[in-house]
Amino acid sequence: MPDVPLRRAPGVLWRDGAFGVVVLAPGGSEPRTITGTGRALWHALARPITATALAAELSEAFGVDPARVEADIGPVLAELHRIGVIDQEPA
């Protein structure tokens, strides 16, 4: 996924609770749960942000190397994009 701004997709239904964040893509039938530090990732996607900037933000919040965070969140962002709950910010 190129390093372009990402954001929550319009129309995504989501609920945050003690168990994590449950998301449902527009027109989707299968909700997904984002747990652990993924909650912080989801909340950061409330505004357009690149994967690099997101990794830097999360690395500061959790005290982990930004390169490691970027490698870890890459597959998560790809999956969230695949299921339709995040989009690339329009140019």
List the CATH number of the domain containing 71: 1.10.10
Q: Is residue 90 one of the residues assigned to a domain?
A: no
Q: Is residue 1 one of the residues assigned to a domain?
A: no
Q: Is residue 76 one of the residues assigned to a domain?
A: yes
Q: Would strands 32-34 and 86-88 be described as parallel, antiparallel, or unpaired?
A: unpaired
Q: Is residue 75 one of the residues assigned to a domain?
A: yes
Tokens encoding 36: 């652990």
Q: For the chain, what is the domain count?
A: 1
CA–CA gap between residue 52 and residue 27 (Å, rounded)? 30
Radius of gyration of the chain (CA): 12
pTM of the predicted protein model: 0.90
8 A C-beta contact, residue 71 and residue 1: no
List pLDDT tens digits, range 39-78.
Answer: 999 999 999 999 999 999 999 999 999 999 999 999 999 9
Q: Which domain holds residue 14?
A: 6-85
End-to-end CA distance of the chain: 16
